[in-house]
A and B are shown apart, each in its own frame.
Chain A
Amino acid sequence: MNLNDLLPVLYQITWQHLVMIAVGLTLIYLAIAKEYEPNLLLPMGFGALLVNLPLTSALTQIDPVTGKALEGALTVFYEAGIANEVFPLLIFIAIGAMIDFSPLFKSPYLLFFGAAAQFGIFFTMIAATLMGFDLKEAASIGIIGAADGPTSIFVSSRFAPELLGPISVAAYSYMALVPIIQPPVIRALTSRKERLIRMESHSKSISKTALILFPIIVTLFAGIIAPSSLALIGFLMFGNLIRECGVLNKLSLAAQNELSSLVTILLGISIASTMTAERFVQVDTLMIIGLGLVAFIFDTFGGVMFAKLLNVFLPANRKINPMVGACGISAFPMSARVIHGMGQKEDPQNFLLMHAVSANVGGQIGSVVAGGLILSLVPLFL
């Protein structure tokens, strides 16, 4: 008996496996030491270790003796929860239960920033086609710009499952890096005078009936206009209805905490099943990581420039601080906090938080709508 028989893994390991183990360790480091989206990056990082050791029992393997498939847990999780889109949809229930739409009722016009700041999705999709990706792959890469992990997973698992690993890593990494990505882009696009603009605050209370009706009406409209988007929007709104109805407090708390935590663990570690060396160590992965950054930059660009465009038509006393436009991305509440912090840095008496939160909530709706529209539109042009 030689060492190959005793430790076959050591003889089968390649440099690509070692690269992926390094990627896994880096994700674990970023999750623990830097607290970059630890809920997702830690399971993904650990999962990357599990699937990149040759002969791993975490993935389905063919038994060389019998020729039968030996089912691996992560392959089973992937098939059970990601290939059929169940895990992202369950996460949407949890997210819906966490969202408070009342800031939108106070300043509903800020909803439009949730549309403008999806520009990065489409800009990146075009850039990806120029780099040689087909339309489905390009749309899946573009959706990183939704700044919304579950939407990215939902769209890419349908259009480009082979790219799911790098797309998820890019989406969650850049969401964690919003405080680093957005400020320089905003500063480059705005003058100090614009960053000092103060916005009027409204403090009004919203009726419970209004908050209950909103998710129902949104679901009905989405279903009538774009049925393909209904699963995405509907599950989000279902979670929100559980929160707002007032008679399911236990379920609402369970969705926000236990459901969210459990599905996040399963989602993260299942995505890792796609992070194998054969799939991940490719030039495409580097291109996707780069394009993800482009998506976040152009989301910010879209939101800021839309605010500047509106300011051309608005009277002097009703101008919008263009920084608030950047909150139209879905990274909630990080983007709102970043913009409030930037506003306070320029002028400690300028309180942009409420407006920023409203635009940010608009972004949460906008990202899901964008995901649903891409699912509807791309097949029409193929």
Chain B
Amino acid sequence: MHTDILIEALKVTGFGMLGIFAFMVIFYFAIKAIDRIFPSSKK
């Protein structure tokens, strides 16, 4: 029973950390793309 919960927690950890990094990769490229398409006119 306890081992089952631990295994579930490990799965949530694995998918969770991967998920956060996946989100950040998307946000990273979103920032890069927005910044390239709409650069600041100020120098």
Contact = CB atoms under 8 A, between A and B. Distances in A.
B17 to A, nearest CB: 6
Chain A interface size band reads 35 or more
Given A126-B9, A135-B9, A207 B39 contact: yes
A139 B12 contact: yes
B21 A204 contact: no
Interface of A: 104-105, 108-109, 111-112, 114-115, 118-119, 121-123, 125-126, 129-130, 132, 134-135, 138-139, 204-207, 209-210, 213-214, 217-218, 221-222, 225-226, 362, 365-366, 369-370, 373-374, 377-378, 381-382
A214 B21 contact: no
B12 A122 contact: yes
Interface string B1-29: 01001101111110111011111101110
Contacts of B38: 207, 209-210, 213
28 contacts: A112-B21, A112-B24, A115-B23, A122-B16, A129-B6, A129-B9, A132-B2, A134-B5, A138-B5, A138-B9, A205-B43, A207-B39, A209-B34, A210-B34, A210-B40, A213-B38, A225-B23, A365-B27, A366-B24, A369-B23, A370-B16, A370-B20, A373-B16, A373-B19, A374-B16, A377-B15, A377-B19, A381-B8
Contact of B5 (A105, A111, A135, A221): A135
A381 B35 contact: no
Contacts of B5: 129, 134-135, 138
